[in-house]
């Protein structure tokens, strides 16, 4: 799987060791580590960068709210959404109690307005609806277009920590008499990563 937040070349430069298809660790092994750390950062932060992810069937109640000219607001759990596209699997589904099914209204713009930057979906025509619980189910994609420098740095350091903790090639790392103890460096890198996560962490409201 392709890497996004950092590269094998960046890891090689950081450790100052060659990483190829035949070294230990190999290029493929390091790519797997990077992919795991990308997912770790996304999970801890609650957002993704330089790529998109899809949220499938996120369920919402219809609140007793109305924004004039827009409709009843639904606050989706992510921001920086992609334009809704049925070809990409996106959906806006409304529960139909009479038939016990969800009906996809995506493409019929008379029923909704979409604000992707902050992740808001406005539903029209249901202000006086009696059925409100679990009424709307949304499938959408989200993610920033670029990867910030601090995210790249955090992913790089997490990858390097994993490599060192697995004892890959530690015998060949340049550790001279005056070198900083590797465990001290690892602790500092972990602190750096936690600072990035703290600064980037998304805020979620649980209804």
DSSP 74: E
Peptide bond preceding 25: is omega within 30 degrees of 0, i.e. cis?
Answer: yes
Q: Model confidence at 24, in pLDDT bands (50, 70, 90)?
A: confident
Which of these three, 97, 115, 142, is where a domain ends?
142
pLDDT tens by residue, 176-188: 545 557 888 899 9
Q: Model confidence at 86, in pLDDT bands (50, 70, 90)?
A: very high
The pLDDT of residue 166? 82
1 domain-assigned:
no
Averaged pLDDT for residues 9-27? 94
pLDDT tens by residue, 123-169: 999 888 889 999 999 999 999 999 999 999 999 999 999 999 886 54
Between 78 and 179, the more confident residue is 78
32 domain-assigned:
yes
Averaged pLDDT for residues 185-205? 93
Which of these three, 121, 142, 163, is where a domain ends?
142
116 and 196 fall within a common domain: no
3 domain-assigned:
no
Residues in the chain: 207
Q: What is the mean pLDDT of the chain?
A: 92
Please state, in angstroms and rounded to a whole number, the distance separating the CA atoms of residues 113 and 126: 13
pLDDT tens by residue, 45-77: 999 999 999 999 999 999 999 999 899 999 999
Averaged pLDDT for residues 108-133? 93
Total domain count, the chain = 2
Does the reported pTM lie above 0.85?
A: yes
Strand, coil or helix: 57: strand
The pLDDT of residue 117? 97
Q: Model confidence at 87, in pLDDT bands (50, 70, 90)?
A: very high
**H/E/C letters for each residue in 81-136?**
ECCCCHHHCCEEEEEECCCCEEEECCCCHHHEEEECCCCEEEECCCCCCCCCCCCE
Q: What percent of the chain has pLDDT over 70?
A: 92
Tell me the residue range of the domain where 104 lies: 53-142
165 and 133 fall within a common domain: no
């Amino acid at each position: 799987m392709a890497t996004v937040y950092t590269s094998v070349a960046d890891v090689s430069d950081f450790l100052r060791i060659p990483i190829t298809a035949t070294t230990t660790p190999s290029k493929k092994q390091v790519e797997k580590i990077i992919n795991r750390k990308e997912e770790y950062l996304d999970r801890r932060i609650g957002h993704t960068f330089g790529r998109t992810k899809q949220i499938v069937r996120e369920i919402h109640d219809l609140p007793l709210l109305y924004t004039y000219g827009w409709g009843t607001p639904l606050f989706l759990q992510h921001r920086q959404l992609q334009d809704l596209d049925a070809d990409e699997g996106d959906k806006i589904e409304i529960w139909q109690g009479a038939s016990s099914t969800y009906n996809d209204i995506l493409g019929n713009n008379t029923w909704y307005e979409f604000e992707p930057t902050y992740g808001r979906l406005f539903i029209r025509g249901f202000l006086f609806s009696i059925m409100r619980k679990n009424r709307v189910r949304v499938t959408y994609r989200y993610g920033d277009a670029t990867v910030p420098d601090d995210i790249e740095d955090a992913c790089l350091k997490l990858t390097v920590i994993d490599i060192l903790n697995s004892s890959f090639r530690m015998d060949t790392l340049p550790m001279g008499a005056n070198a900083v103890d590797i465990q001290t460096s690892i602790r500092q890198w972990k602190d750096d990563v936690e600072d990035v996560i703290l600064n980037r962490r998304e805020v979620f409201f649980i209804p």
